[in-house]
Structure 1
Amino acid sequence: MQKLRYSRYFKSAIIILDIFIVAAVFVFFFLMRHKYVLEKVRKEENFLSLVLLSLFWILLSGRTKLYSIPRNLTYTLYLERIITHIFIFLLGILLLAKVSNNEFLKDERFLITFTLFITFFIVKSFIFFSLKYIRLQGKNYRNVMFIAENSSSDILKDIITHRKDYGYRVYEFLNDDITITKLQNFWREKEIHTIFIPYENNLNQNLLEEINREAENDKIKISLIPSAIHNEFFQYDLGYIETQTILTPSKFPLDYYSNAIIKRIFDFTFSLLVLIFIASWLFPIIALLIKLDSKGSVFFVQKRYGFHDEVFECIKFRTMVENNESTTKTTSQNDSRITKIGRFLRKTSLDEMPQFINVLKGDMSVVGPRPHMLLIDEFYKAKIGRYSVRSLVQPGITGLAQVSGLRGDTGDMEIEMKKRVIADSFYVKNWSLTLDIVIILKTILLVIKGDQKAI
């Protein structure tokens, strides 16, 4: 018997809270203007405007998925949804103020929009992190189990085991001699909510059909785990011809010329501003510190694979003593080649700053999959089929994998690289300008506090 879930009631409460905030801000500024309070016609006009804005908020949420918040959603992606939703909603306020005869809305539209943006940003961030904290305390969890495990399910299990804030409690099931009776007894005893099964598994077809049938009867969800190595699921989208399901080749956001132009304009403008207002005074300081710390050039230039595997010269500040192993040996923990100032530059990611020159030249983007050494790319292309997906967009100074903590040559590198490829694949398939901005903001925070995984 499944526990009663209150998520739908919580979602309804959040929607009501959001509408209340919209109304409260609107009414507050309305009451601040006493001349409108005394006019009945103005009251009715503003009441109608408020109703229209509330309806627009709810309808818009279906498009932005503001209230579709799975527990494993990261703050990066959630922040993207908040910003996108609020930005479009604020455009709706400005449009309504422009086309209507509502003088109050015309006069106060900018103050209302600014107040709403700040209020929702604070409120929704507070709710998000409150839920994370509650789950970290071992509450509001879901019981899950894995069967027919393989390397792909191992990656997922590792993620949800370490990310306590996702609120999953994993129950280990012995996968020897699996029978439907054993499974039923186990998932009923542990009150399992979701069963994770690798798409490529060694289960008997009849047993698999039984599992699906009995799990549906017990209201248990079954989630399939695509292979982390192969990319069949990544390359296709689910579509329909009338009611018949078909898989169609995916077209990624940056395949559209308009999106590619928007990203390039943003990259060029952002990089130019950074080079003018920051690099103009920061580069000479860093160059002097590098020269004082060790002999050699200020910059380190290395060939990397870029867009569609075109080789380009990636520019960085030199963080090591000059050596002959820079193109054949990766950085290791406590690497003796790293200089004192180099360790600081790596910790704060300031060694990557010269790559804004690469962005201006068009070799790189501000945000995208990080370019690796040529030998690393050649090694993992043969081992991870989805690895080449990274080259479908320009490499970036920072990326989703980096701000998600997937950085540094520590632990099992093959597992870590698969996680990075999964994150980079997600970025390729779900790019948006808002996502780029969120990743940049998170990168700035990492630069300020220092990345613990940087070596």
Structure 2
Amino acid sequence: MGNNKTNNNTTRRYSIIQVLVITCDLCLCNGLFYLLYYWTGFCKQHPTQEATLPQTLITLSLCYLICTIHRGVVLHNDKVHPYQIVWRAFLNVFYFSFISGFLLTAGHFIEISFSFFITYLLSLFVSESICRLLIRICIKKYRTNKNHIHYVVLIGSTTNNIELYHELTNNLTYGYAVTGYFDDQPNPEMDALNCPYLGKPEKVQDYLASHTYIHSLFCCLPSRRASTIVPIINYCENNLVHFYSVPNLRNYLHNRVFFNMLGNVPYLSLRPDPLSQPENKFLKRAFDIVFSLTFLCTFFPIILIIVTIITKITMPGPVFFRQKRNGLNDREFYCIKFRSMKVNKDADTLQATKDDPRKTKWGNIMRKTNIDELPQFINVLLGDMSIVGPRPHMLKHTEEYSKLINKYMVRHFVKPGITGWSQVTGYRGETKELKDMEGRVLGDIWYIEHWSFGLDLYIIYRTVRNIFHGEKNAY
């Protein structure tokens, strides 16, 4: 079955929520003490202190982290009631009061009055409770918003899929909505759950074709139905629908599959998908924003002035070239580049070749040094692209190659990049033969399956190195 990976949804999917809650708690912990500190000073009741205020606040922060870092956050749990959130906040403040009170007193940090400390603790408890309840409400509103819901269909209605239906629908924080199920005949148990019967499994592809908003499909048909299942898998892989088998695919799919858990229900995915994890998405997007913003505010204005002057001198027409390309989930966007060719009617359909007569001498220099790609940092900042990812293709190429290369559309499960794994491993530039594009697609899928922040940094390094060393396919 390949390399198994057990997903703890509580710690993996919602680690960002945990970090957010603890960060908010620390802000309250320090902010309230700071406000009370100056309020008591205004009233001539300022507590005597032997340590500086920053030292005191750091000590309070460490004490609070000890009390809350492991078991202090319950917002990410499957089912949690408001009283549980308030009770957890109370426990955090209760233990915090003993630890912080002892350390501040024993360490001679500060001598505070009983009324000061009680006022601080009560304010912290009330503020923390309100903050956590508001975050929980925001999570529910976010997940129930139509723009954020992931729509799911089920194939089969065995015990596994019935339990899976409960897991998907009982917990709003997962953000799933089940549109219905397919089976050879209606199942009274599913009907009792108000899960619509959509027809026989043979009708799945027609349904997906007419309901393009479907994100995921969970299949629990037995392996003897391979003749029905395999076409569904191929359709999903080529039309941006995530396919999951409950519980396994071994008898009809010979490549590696990966074990996952959703609540108490096991399912298998076709590949590892690190960038589906919220913390990885957050890290990658944060890096994209910081990197692109830094470049656009420093080097880019100088490069823009130089490129504009030389372009205007060497060829008529605009400085920038905008072209529609396919991005995340096949969404179209305008990819921005410095124009390196004469204005021509084939710009949106014909790839650049080594001795392309449309290129100018200055354009050829820009292409060899990758200067023409630099405006795409604007695309990165806007969220259409990432620094690293599969290179976006022209609409015409996506339409053609998606019909010729199996799993071609998988590369659109992540944002396209300015540079990518395929580009630094020999698959940059013109695709003269079908095997060239097949190699590029395989490289893109490998990147999606093996993504890490370190891999992105290595690809950036290889890209910069290739610029100085030169690339034979850079034209």
Q: For this structure pair, what is the TM-score category when the shorter chain's length is used for normalisation?
A: 0.3 to 0.5
The higher radius of gyration belongs to 2
Q: TM-score if structure 2 supplies the norm length?
A: 0.45
